[in-house]
Amino acid sequence: MSTNYYLHAPESYRWGAVEHLGKSSQGWCFGLHVYPEEGLNNWTTMWEYVQELVYEFNYTIRDEYGKIINPGEFFTVAWDRDVNSRRHELDDRCIGHGNGPFDYIIGDFS
């Protein structure tokens, strides 16, 4: 079973921006969606970005089913992994392994 997580702009924003944050798949390290071209290329920069948008600009984190997830829950989803979780193979999509139980993924998630 896997679940995707998204960062949603407030409904008052006309463009309704939605950014993919990552994917949780059973037995795997969390697939953190990073955006190197925007300077968001590791856990620290992504976490700071998410917290700023949630706490200062009223963005919400939601799973693919629409359930709102608070930042603490999202943190737990990403960090609370089995120590033996599989790592994604480094390639043109997985650009690195984090210092925690997550891998840095770019591009389209399926």
User: pTM for this structure?
Assistant: 0.91
**pLDDT value for 5:** 97
Domain boundaries, the chain: 2-105
Identity (one letter) of the amino acid at 18?
V
CB pairs under 8 A, 24+ apart, for 66-71?
A: 69/5
**DSSP class of 40:** B
pLDDT reported for residue 35: 95
Tell me the average confidence (pLDDT) per consecutive run of 10 residues in the chain, 110 residues long: 93 77 96 96 96 94 96 95 92 95 89
